[in-house]
Amino acid sequence: MLSNPVSYGASEEALSQLDALARETREVMMSSDGSQVTALWRQIDLSVVYHDCALEGQVVTPEELATALQHPVITDVASLSLYHALRQHQAAIDLARDVASRKNVEFDYDLVRELHILLSSDPEEAAAARLRRDIPLHRTYFHEICEPDKIVVNLKKLFSWLNDPEEEIELHPIQRACKFHARFMKIFPFTETSGKIGRTIMNILLMRYGYLPAIIHATERQRYYEAIRHGNDDLTELVIESANASLEAAIKFLRRSAVAS
């Protein structure tokens, strides 16, 4: 962690408290049984998919989620497309955790494209990797997004900033992740998947620094939309709260599991 984080939409006190909770969570995870940690990640994955879908206006029941991700054989033919989409979302989460665990990572469009293919409702169309060609009149988000002809150059600038080691030390990891997400959402390269991709890469950045994914809950949907519209300060505050909630829930889960065993 940075010893002297630069203020960027959050107080040093809030960031220090979050760092302390992250350290405590890592200690609890290291002292827990491997099966308990595996079960924790399973719960985190379920929560990420459920709330990520809800933020995009996609209603998924806990039962559908459990069936899709925990049962190898699907007998409900009518729901096959839904279950496939949920399993693809799980594959995107698995990819994110793998990227986060790598020693060296070069963030680039290839990662964005891979996530887009996994998260798209039409993987074959997504494989063509066609960027947004217009500014949709009907869309989930209502913040200002860049013109289509600016997407490529803005993505290059964003990843140049994200991969710059000198820029990395300027911000606390939470602030850096939020700044990335805010900028990515302004670019909005794909009409359907940009929100999920932006949050996934944001959480890759957080996991690389020892945090758990910051799960923005469905109940915070409108607040999240407004934070995207209004800028980094509001978004950073929301992400800090979400990251805190993830860490606190993880500690409770592991301690409860230890008592039960």
Give me the pLDDT at residue 9, please.
60
- Give pLDDT tens digits for 195-252: 999 999 999 999 999 999 999 999 999 999 999 988 778 999 999 999 999 999 999 9
d(C-alpha 235, C-alpha 31), whole Å: 33
pLDDT above 80 (res 151) = yes
**CB–CB of 36/261 below 8 Å?**
yes
Query: Out of 53-67, 101-115, 118-132, which region has the weakest mean confidence (pLDDT)?
Result: 118-132
d(C-alpha 218, C-alpha 86), whole Å: 17
- The conformational region for residue 129 under phi > 0 = left, psi -120 to 50 = alpha, else beta, is left
- Give pLDDT tens digits for 109-124: 999 999 999 999 887 7
Q: Please state the rounded mean pLDDT for residues 12-38.
A: 96
CB-count exposure of residue 251 (10 Å: 0-12, 13-18, 19+): middle
Query: Out of 22-31, 39-48, 138-147, 169-178, which region has the weakest mean confidence (pLDDT)?
Result: 138-147
d(C-alpha 252, C-alpha 237), whole Å: 23
Q: Which CATH superfamily is domain 12-260 in?
A: Fido-like domain (1.10.3290.10)
pLDDT above 70 (res 194) = yes
